A and B are shown apart, each in its own frame.
Chain A
């Protein structure tokens, strides 16, 4: 049986966990700055840490792509724009333990030779922004940021930058445009940010949880980290359970734990109900059903079953939930958040929304199912960024697993579900 492994969450129950006093003395940063920067990169490569923002790209390899000795300024930009529906790990992490992120930023910046770092945090989380601002100010006060850190000669400026409400800014190149003061619209790649990122300079964009995991790797060693998880998905991660589960919340566990194991810990599906469908890693990852409860939640195993590990945002829905309604709402989200740059995504999400609205009202035909999967096929892989691809995930997977439920809507000319029982108070 896999058990929980609190590392990033270990101090969250302490009343002062968000202060320097409650966090610790930045001994990992001190250690890292005594190492050769390339040795820091190598340690992270050896740990097997892969990006915790959804894509799972090896973090150390990303750092290694930054050209050295190029005479240009380098930048680290932390992607704290957590907005993928269902994803709710970075926000509590930054609220309760912002210093793990700041310390990780010092180590990462040193490794990639960046003297300026940014935390791009979504704007809709005021108290999290306060905690970040306070942690950064405290670090400056104690000489942990600024000039000549730990007497190493390394300088680092860190800015907390609030976004303004745009899911697309979680896409790394859109984030960079936004940080430069433009509309947040994705750039064509290549060039990748490692070559031409912020201000066209070499830039690493890393997720909050990825960067916050780095101090533990430096302190405890790459082998320690790699000793958790599976062969190709190493280490721990925060799994976020939400929806129709008895005890929703944040569960920090080795990658490769299963939903069945997590549900056992979380008290199972709410009393008197059964699981119907769930997302492994946010709304952009194809849905799973009760037949996937034993799939190891690591990048490879989830991928082999036709979905993606994503952000480990486990949104769980029981049998009271109408899947067509759920897919419509996700589709409305993508249509709302499409930045409009690429035609397939801009127009495709709009039309998906129109057709799904009709389907949900029971006014569609079976041919509409072909229409929505055709539209989805014409979005997938045809836009600059992954937003459009994500929009197709709920469509394809819901039609695959719940075709009959769509048909039922046409048969009875409406939604076969009463929505009241699916609410929190519906079964009280």
Chain B
């Protein structure tokens, strides 16, 4: 598996807190008695911002003018929601992933330009989060939960059989570009174990046979419905767009809740159990 512990230690949180506080004119932030570090890379931020403001063109992204214009429009809408632009970095990384199917070099450059950051700062963030992919994933990104509970309930067997069936391993994509696989950590659906996700939609209560059938159907272009989700499964790129904060209008699809989510309520109703009446 990828993702061994990193040794990155930027000390940035404290720098940032101090910087923000200073910008807001407060001199009272408790620095815990430690000397504040000046390793924040601020001069570069400043330089980039100044360069942008002075119109010195950094036109480096490989997007066509049409794509660039569309991405910029979306990006500006997203950035406008936040008190400080940098907060839009994670959404913007989802946005470029919705364009390219992964966080491409061009995409990271785009994020840097939109937010006045250096590209190194953007890459430093994107590499921290497992949902940002360093290479193109399949149209259908298939995850199998292998955290303890799902693993014990059958997730390990599902992973082994599915990985062999699809011929790819963790974070790898089939040659036709349709399917990529990932070993997932807990996805908060333990009462539906063993759990799989496709493009971050729930596929509950799986078996090795259902998992292989699912992948075969996806490769054959059949229409697939998640267990709790929209009628039609969207692609990895379409999913990434929703994650960037741009809705796709499918929220009303699918059940409110189903299966195990309703067990307690069903039992309460059958027994006439309720919370106490309000006084």
The residues of A with any CB-CB pair to B shorter than 8 Å are: 3-7, 9-19, 22, 72-73, 82-88, 90-92, 95-97, 116, 122-127, 129-131, 133-134, 137, 157, 159-167, 173, 177-188, 190-191, 195-196, 199-201, 219-221, 223-224, 227-228, 236, 238-243, 247-253, 265-266, 283, 313, 315, 317, 321, 325-326, 329-330, 332-333, 335-341, 346-347, 349-350, 419-420, 422-426
Contacts and interface: CB of A to CB of B under 8 A. Distances in A.
Given A249-B264, A250-B264, A340-B8, A18 B251 contact: yes
B261 interface: yes
Contact of A4 (B20, B29, B264): B264
A201 B84 CA distance: 12
A108 B86 CA distance: 25
- Select the residue from B8, B185, B250, B257 with max chain A CB neighbours within 10 A: B257
Contacts of B185: 83, 85, 167, 333, 336-337
B115 interface: yes
B83 interface: yes
Contacts of B14: 187-188
Interface of B: 1, 3-10, 12-14, 16-18, 20-21, 24, 26, 29-30, 32, 81-84, 86-91, 93-94, 115, 124-125, 128-132, 143, 146-149, 151-154, 156-157, 184-194, 197, 199-202, 205, 207, 226, 228-230, 239, 242-245, 247-248, 250-252, 254-257, 259-268, 271, 273-276, 278-279
Contacts of B24: 72, 199-201
24 contacts: A3-B271, A4-B273, A9-B265, A85-B149, A85-B185, A86-B190, A124-B197, A124-B200, A127-B201, A127-B229, A157-B81, A159-B82, A162-B94, A164-B132, A182-B86, A200-B24, A248-B260, A249-B261, A326-B152, A333-B147, A333-B148, A337-B185, A341-B9, A419-B157
A241 B124 CA distance: 38
Given A14-B256, A162-B243, A133 B190 contact: no
A82 B186 CA distance: 9
A92 to B, nearest CB: 4
A420 B154 CA distance: 8
Contacts of B91: 161-162
B125 A183 contact: yes
Nearest to A242: B190
Nearest to A121: B243
Contacts of B271: 3-4
A87 B132 CA distance: 24
A46 to B, nearest CB: 14
Contacts of A219: 278
Nearest to A173: B13
A173 B84 CA distance: 17
Given A181-B86, A183-B12, 13 more contacts: A5-B276, A86-B190, A127-B226, A159-B81, A165-B132, A178-B90, A181-B88, A188-B13, A196-B29, A200-B16, A250-B263, A330-B148, A340-B8
A183 B128 contact: yes
B188 A166 contact: no
Contact of A422 (B89, B152, B207): B152
Contact of B263 (A3, A249, A329): A249
Contacts of B184: 124
A90 B189 CA distance: 10
B6 A325 contact: no
A315 B257 contact: no
Given A249-B262, A313-B190, A335-B5, A425 B207 contact: yes
Given A4-B264, A116-B83, A224 B278 contact: yes
B273 A321 contact: no
Contacts of A335: 4-5
B90 to A, nearest CB: 5
- Select the residue from B125, B128, B156 with max chain A CB neighbours within 10 A: B128
B30 A346 contact: no
Contact of A248 (B88, B230, B263): B263
B156 A419 contact: yes
Contact of A12 (B89, B146, B147, B261): B261
A182 B242 contact: no
Contacts of B265: 4, 6, 9-10, 12-13, 250, 252
A415 to B, nearest CB: 13
A170 to B, nearest CB: 11
Given A127-B202, A315-B148, A338 B5 contact: yes
A181 B186 contact: no
A336 B1 contact: yes
B17 A126 contact: no
B278 A346 contact: no
A85 B30 CA distance: 35
- Select the residue from B4, B184, B185, B230 with max chain A CB neighbours within 10 A: B185
B278 A220 contact: yes
A220 B264 contact: no
Given A133-B247, A221-B279, A424-B207, A350 B186 contact: no
Contacts of A339: 5-6, 128
A12 B275 contact: no
B279 A224 contact: yes
A428 B194 CA distance: 15
A323 B167 CA distance: 31
A60 B20 CA distance: 28
A6 B278 contact: no
Contacts of B82: 159
Given A4-B267, A127-B228, A200-B21, A85 B261 contact: no
Given A86-B190, A180-B86, A195 B30 contact: yes
Contacts of A341: 8-9
B157 A127 contact: no
A133 B17 CA distance: 29
